[in-house]
Amino acid sequence: MRHDDAVAALSTLPSAGLVAGSTPVEEMARLRAALGGGPRLLVKRDDALPFGFGGNKVRKLDLVAAHARSEGADTLLTVGGLQSNHARATAATAARLGLRCVLVLNGARPDRPTGNTLLDGLLGAEIEYVSSRAERAPAMQAAADRLRAQGRRPFEIPLGASTPLGAIAYARAVAELVAQVPAPDVIVHATSSGGTQAGLLAGCTLLDLPTRVLGISADDPAPVLQEVVAALVSGIDVALGGAGRLSAAAPRADVDDSFVGEGYGIPTPASREALELAARTEALFLDSTYTAKAMAGLMAHVRAGRFRSDETVLFWHTGGQVGLLA
Active site residues: 84
Site mask for ligand PLP (CB under 6 A), range 266-305, x = bound: ---------------------x--xx--------------
Single residue of 106, 162, 163, 247 touching ligand PLP by CB under 6 A: 162
User: Do the beta carbons of residue 74 and residue 102 sit within 8 Å?
Assistant: no
CB 306 within 8 A of CB 39: no
Instruction: Give whichever of 208 and 276 is closer to ligand PLP, judged by the CB atom.
Output: 276
Indicate whether 190 belongs to the interface with ligand PLP (CB under 6 A).
yes
DSSP 3-state of 213: strand
Q: How far is the CB of 84 from ligand PLP (least distance, A)?
A: 7
Q: Residue 43 or residue 190: which is nearer to ligand PLP going by CB?
A: 190
Min CB(178)–ligand PLP separation in Å: 20
Size of the site for ligand PLP (CB under 6 A): 20
State which of positions 53-92 bind ligand PLP (CB under 6 A): 55-56, 85-86
Collapsing DSSP states into helix, strand and coil, what is residue 186? Answer: strand
Nearest distance from C-beta of residue 162 to ligand PLP, angstroms: 5
Distance CA(44)–CA(211), nearest Å, equals: 15
Residue 29 and residue 225: Cα distance in Å, rounded? Answer: 32
Supply the minimum distance, in Å, between the C-beta of residue 153 and ligand PLP. Answer: 26
Residue 196 within binding range of ligand PLP, rule CB under 6 A: yes
Q: Binding ligand PLP by CB under 6 A: which of 94, 157, 318, 322?
A: 318
Considering only the C-alpha atoms of the chain, give the largest distance between any 2 of them, rounded to a whole number of Å: 62
CB 206 within 8 A of CB 177: no
Q: Of 195, 203, 235, 242, which lies in the binding site for ligand PLP, with binding defined by CB under 6 A?
A: 195
Strands, sheet with 75-81, edge to edge from the N-terminal-most edge strand = 126-130, 100-106, 75-81, 154-157
Q: In sequence order, what are the beta bridge partners of 157?
A: 78
Residue 309, Cβ neighbours under 10 Å: how many? 11
Whether 48 and 22 have beta carbons less than 8 Å apart is answered as: no
- Cα distances from 58 to residues 81, 207, 213, 244, in angstroms, run 17, 23, 20, 28
Under the binding rule (CB under 6 A), the answer on residue 185 touching ligand PLP is no
Segment 101-160, which members bind ligand PLP (CB under 6 A)?
A: 160
Q: Buried b vs exposed e over 112-143: b needs ≥16 C-beta within 10 Å?
A: ebebbbbbbeebebebbbbeeeebbeebbeeb
- The residue within the footprint of ligand PLP, chosen from 155, 207, 320, 322 (CB under 6 A), is 320
Chain residue at closest Cβ approach to ligand PLP: 320
Tell whether residue 322 is a contact of ligand PLP (CB under 6 A): no
User: Which among 3-11, 134-142, 276-284, 313-321 is the span making contact with ligand PLP, rule CB under 6 A?
Assistant: 313-321
Nearest approach, Cβ of residue 151 and ligand PLP (Å): 33
DSSP string, 248-266: HHSPPPEEE-TT-TTSTT-
Residue 141 C-beta: closest distance to ligand PLP, Å: 21
Residues that bind ligand PLP (CB under 6 A): 55-56, 85-86, 160, 162, 190-197, 287, 290-291, 318-320
